[in-house]
Structure 1
Amino acid sequence: MDFLNLAQDVVKRAHAAGATDAECTIAEGEEFSANVRMREVENLKEAGSRGAGLRILIGRKTGASYTSDLSEEGIQHLVKSAIELADITTEDPHADLPGVEELGSIPGDLALYSQDVEGLDTALKISTAKRAEEAALSTDPRISNSEGASFDSHLGRHIFANSRGFSGEYRSSYCSLSTVPVARDGECMERDYWYTMARGFAGLESPELVGRTAAQRALRRLNAVKVETQKVPVVFEPRTARSLLDNIFEAVHGMSIYRHESFLAGKLGEKVAVDGLTVIDDATIPGLFGTSPFDDEGVPSRRT
């Protein structure tokens, strides 16, 4: 099925049904997951998905709908639902699509898709997960148990079109490997994990490195000493720092600000962090997971 033509057709149908503007997103994906525990396969899962989302404007009133049924009947219902929802929605003076001059796509290969994920042998996926868990269990006698190891892969396709003349698509892929060993020393029991994730299979850390790292992280938790409450400088490790950044990005999200759901709402121009802190949002770095040629509204990705 030509999904780009379908997205453009959905936009045309919405316009014909009364929408002043419309944008359609179609996503298609294939995913696989292999989970093992204590050297045995626990479960395998393989699934495919596809669906279309439509957002329309009637003046300043917005309606949005979604369907996984891409048949003629399903598309008709998609358009009808969006129109009906817009009819009963309160007007939003800021509701609009990006201007024509803002639309576009980053040229060139952003390394979002790797061929080596296609057709990856199921036996290889299982053995990769088993190797990671085995490496963790073999690291130290105190690694007495495991909550398992997982190998996951995904192939996706993203298609977008709007009523202001922009349409585009791109493919993406990723695979990941993780394991969660359990360490025990007397009555003290702790667990931790490690994972690796890349656009292609060849970009993953070795299963042995993943397993050893997870085991070492679990071992260092054993017999930990509680620190007294105090005010001291703290250095966050990368995965903890990332969780803090997640909260910042959620706070600066345009919709969160608009709805006054963010602690930063109304603080434009005010100092909200220490000197020397710079947060960069760069969706143009090839191969990374926040990268794409254009955003959800058809605006070229950029560094901010």
Structure 2
Amino acid sequence: MQSFNQIEKEEDTLINTVKNTLYLARKKFNFSVEVFVKKTIGINVNIRNSIIENVEFNRDGGLFITVYNKFSKGVVSSRDFSINGIKKMLDTAVDISKYSSSDFFSGLPDIKLLCFGSKDLDLFHPTEFNLKNAINFTSISEQEAFKFDKRIVNSEGSFFSNHISINVFGNSLGMLEKYKSTYYNNYNCMIAKDKNCMQRSFSYSTARKLEDLEKPDILGQKTAKNAISRLGSKKINTTKCPIIFSREISPTFFSHFISAISGDNVYQKSTCLLYDLKKRIFPEWLNIEEKPHLIAGLGSKPFDSEGVATKSKSIIKNGILQTWLLNTYNARRLNLFSTGNSGGITNWFVSHKNISFKEMLHTMYNGLLITELMGQGVDIISGNYSRGAIGFWIKGGKIQYPVNEITISGNLKNMWHNIISISNDINIYSKIRSGSILLSEMQISGN
């Protein structure tokens, strides 16, 4: 990993690259120009059964230039940051724009929405972490999993990554902003075996700071415990019953909602929520807030991928949908303004009922706890939902036995309306911060 001084030099180089690009563009022609340059520096380590399977040193960078020739658009990218390279890119972008269809909705964002003077969100926490340390960090979780129980018989691998990103953005409206960030991730997947079957399970964590990651020994023990708990899995009979999405997969549940309110799907009329703005989508007690300036947040950023300043906003208030998620283009198609969501969401905070996961199990009493989902059977246009699932059968508020080879199905709009409760066991390793989710009923397909 590079030293702190080297990272500062890298940042200065990228800033100068954007300045040079904007200068040459201004000197060469009178078109609107957008420039983004990003460099990612890091290391990935994969280990399986104490053998190093893969080590990757990343040093990826890219310069992206967008030219708006009236209402025609030309986009180019390159890894050549030289003056001659930039000149060629600008010429190519202009040539592309001449042959692109004119689109009245194309163009730079409104200058009033741009970010000038970005805030320090405390996203940059580099660590002098060499290859030896990374390998040792990765190995510990696997070793601890094997130590935990003799029924842990194999590993599907342990993974660790440490990355630094430098982002610089500028345009012909006078914006030139930057931010640096760090991202750490560890992952472990183990296999348990008894006389009758084999089962796998995984655990992971992500953080901006190395010290905020799950400790590797704890991660390994958690994975081993989860894998062993799945031994003796059964396939239950087809039924309808309450279900709980565990906190590990609750972000996935809300990710479908994100797709449904994304501007591209809205203006293309490809969402089941097309006519539901300002209408109740969730129960009255449920709120979702987006907080892009959360200090050291996993999704925090001062501006989106178009340079629009990010702002805190209410997505769901008292169950009612407050806004679409818009970039400049789809906002104009809808006669609205960008919400600063070009490139996706930042940090979402989903409200809960301040009950523990254990209390939620008792509230459900009898039903299905889902801990892992498979497949992509979700149709955002119709809302139809069907996915493979793994979990545990709950009876009398307590886990009875593991369940596999089942399919859960329903409709997203009904599922969102049918949320009974969300517990306070918040998933802190996702930018969608939600606890476990209790739904009143879903169709379970089994035997």
For the criterion TM > 0.5, the same-fold answer is yes
The one-letter amino acid of 2:84's match is E
Which residue in the other structure is 1:111 paired with?
A: 122
Asked if the contact 1:19–1:57 (Cα under 8 Å) also holds between the matched residues in 2, the reply is: no
* Equivalent residue, structure 2, for 1:148: 157
Q: Deviations 1:173-208 (Å, cap 9, x if unpaired)? A: 111111100011223111111112211222212111
Is the aligned partner of 1:178 residue 2:187? yes
Deviations 1:43-66 (A, max 9, x none): 211121111111121112222111
- Equivalent of residue 93 in structure 1, options 78, 91, 104: 104
Moved more, 66-75 or 227-236: 227-236
- Write out per-residue CA displacement over residues 76-110 of structure 1, whole angstroms, 9 at most, x where no aligned residue: 22212221222222222222222222112575431
Alpha-carbon distance between aligned partners in 1 of 2:148 and 2:177, rounded to the nearest angstrom? 48
Q: 1:258 to 1:7 in 2, by over 3 A?
A: farther
Structure 2 counterpart of 1:230, from 239, 244, 268:
239
Amino acid at match of 1:183: A
Is structure 2 residue 191 aligned with structure 1 residue 210?
no
Paired position in structure 1 for 2:230: 221
Q: Is contact 2:20–2:83 with CA below 8 Å preserved after alignment?
A: no
Query: 1:281 — aligned with what?
Result: 290
CA distance, structure 1, for counterparts of residue 106 and residue 150 of structure 2: 61
The partner residue of 2:47 within 36, 45, 54 is 36
**Unmatched tracts of structure 2, length 5 or more:** 1-11, 314-447
CA RMSD, Structure 1 to Structure 2 (Å): 2.0
Please say if residues 116 and 175 of structure 2, whose CA atoms lie closer than 8 Å, have aligned partners that are also in contact.
Answer: no
Is 1:163 the counterpart of 2:172? The answer is yes
Q: Does 1:78 align with 2:89?
A: yes
Question: Which structure carries more relative contact order (alpha carbon 8 Å, separation 6+)?
Answer: 1
Say if 1:112 and 1:99 are closer, same or farther in 2 by CA, change over 3 A. Answer: same
> Would you say the 8 A contact 1:106–1:300 is kept in 2?
no
Q: 1:137 to 1:223 in 2, by over 3 A?
A: same
Partner of 1:51, secondary structure, is strand
Contact 2:183 2:208 in 1 (8 A): yes
| Residue identity matched to 1:181 | M
CA distance in structure 1 between the aligned counterparts of 2:276 and 2:157, rounded to whole angstroms: 45
Tell me if structure 2 keeps the 8 A contact 1:105–1:294.
no
Match of residue 197 from structure 1: 206
Q: TM-score, normalised by structure 2?
A: 0.63
- Greater per-residue strand proportion: 2
Verify the 8 A CA contact 1:4 1:161 in the aligned structure 2. no
Amino acid at match of 1:94: F
Q: Which runs of 5+ in 1 are unaligned?
A: none
TM-superposed deviation, 1:15: 4.3
Q: What do residues 206-237 of structure 1 show as CA deviations (whole Å, max 9, x unaligned)?
A: 11110011111212222222333333332211
Change (3 A) 1:106 1:250: farther
